[in-house]
Amino acid sequence: MRQFKYSAVWVFLVLASISALLAQQKSEAPRPVQARSLKFYSVAPNQLKWTDPPAGVARGIPSVEPGGTLRYAAMQGDPLKPDVPFAIRLSCPDGYKAAPHWHPNDENIVVLQGTFSVGTGDRFDAGRTQDIPTGGYGLVPGRMNHFAVCKGETDILVYGIGPRTNNWVSVSTGNSNGAATKPGK
């Protein structure tokens, strides 16, 4: 019986010591990651290089004429690379239309100027859109068929994880029109 009491005391002391050590570690403030491998990154508006969207972004044939020219500026990352974060700016004139399409991953949209009006489905219908006004945010889940129209001169920031491709949707079937097949379908 005496040996049991000593064993119990010993176990109690070990557990108390471990608990005290863990409590001390939890109370210590987390340390920041060494800045050696990380760098702050910023892009000023005058550093943007506006171009046409890169080759390889569009897959298939759009079912609606855009009615204007889309301008594109890469801010961070390469939107065409899989699993790489990216940020791009898109600028479109009043009335510009994006035909029904889908992207492999979520598309985060912040409207910097104008109104970006987004609808969901296989057919373009400007009457079935929801406006995202200047300063607003929208999220289009990956693989969701959607379309858009710009109201006024519109400038949007789009960010997410690549690849960001526009896979145009066929009007007749609702399926990809010469585009990559949707995963999971």
Q: Dump pLDDT digits (tens) for 41-88.
A: 999 999 999 999 999 999 999 999 999 999 999 999 999 999 999 999
Q: Does residue 33 form part of some domain?
A: no
SS3 of 142, please?
coil
pLDDT at position 106 over 90: yes
Q: Measuring CA to CA, which residue among 167, 33, 171 is closest to residue 107?
A: 167
Give the model's pLDDT for residue 177.
47
Q: Does residue 20 form part of some domain?
A: no
Task: Report residue 11: phi and psi, to 5°.
Answer: -60, -45
Q: Does residue 61 form part of some domain?
A: yes
Which range marks the domain in which residue 74 is found? 45-168
Q: Does residue 15 form part of some domain?
A: no
Give the model's pLDDT for residue 79.
95
Q: Which residue has the higher pLDDT, 29 or 102?
A: 102
Give the model's pLDDT for residue 170.
85
Quote the CA–CA distance of 85 and 78 in Å, as a whole number.
8
Q: Looking at residues 101-124, what average pLDDT do you find? A: 98
Report the mean per-residue pLDDT for the chain: 85
pLDDT at position 101 over 60: yes
Give the model's pLDDT for residue 122.
96
CB of 182 closer than 8 Å to CB of 145:
no
Q: Does residue 19 form part of some domain?
A: no
Beta bridge partners of 117: 131, 149
Q: Does residue 112 form part of some domain?
A: yes
Q: Measuring CA to CA, which residue among 45, 49, 101, 90 is closest to residue 68?
A: 90
Structural domains counted in the chain: 1
pLDDT tens-digit map of 2-55:
555 555 555 565 555 566 555 665 556 666 656 556 889 999 999 999 999 999
CA distances from 93 to 44, 158, 169 (A): 22, 17, 23
Q: Does residue 22 form part of some domain?
A: no
pLDDT at position 136 over 90: yes
CB atoms within 10 A of CB 60: 19
Beta bridge partners of 73: 89
Distance of alpha carbon 106 from its chain centroid, rounded? 5
CATH number at residue 85: 2.60.120.10
Quote the CA–CA distance of 101 and 166 in Å, as a whole number.
6
**pTM surpassing 0.85?**
no
Q: Does residue 53 form part of some domain?
A: yes
